[in-house]
């Protein structure tokens, strides 16, 4: 299920820097452009909880 483009424009990382998120429709994830955290999209709903985010091992924090 694809996310609405208007929703993607306003979504941001919930960390204090509030950086934009990149959407990967195939993986159903949102990745922070600043810290690299990866947030899941479950049943079309972005789960923007820092405790549930995965770390992007390729990007240093």
Say how many Å lie between the first and final Cα of the chain, rounded: 30
Decide: pTM greater than 0.85. yes
Q: For residue 32, is it within any domain? A: yes
Q: Which helix (H) or strand (E) holds 22?
A: strand 21-24
The pLDDT profile of the chain, 61 residues, written as one tens digit per residue, is 689 999 999 999 999 999 999 999 999 999 999 999 999 999 999 999 999 999 977 665 5
Query: Which domain covers residue 44, as residue numbers?
Result: 5-52
* Residue 56, pLDDT score: 79
Q: For residue 58, is it within any domain? A: no
What is the count of structural domains for the chain? Answer: 1
CA dist list (Å): 37 to 4, 33, 43: 21, 8, 20
């Amino acid at each position: 299920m694809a996310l609405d483009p208007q929703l993607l424009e306003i979504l941001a990382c919930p960390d204090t820097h509030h950086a934009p998120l990149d959407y990967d429709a195939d993986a159903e994830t949102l990745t922070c452009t600043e810290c690299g955290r990866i947030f899941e999209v479950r049943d079309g709903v972005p789960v923007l909880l820092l405790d549930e985010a995965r770390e992007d091992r390729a990007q240093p924090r």
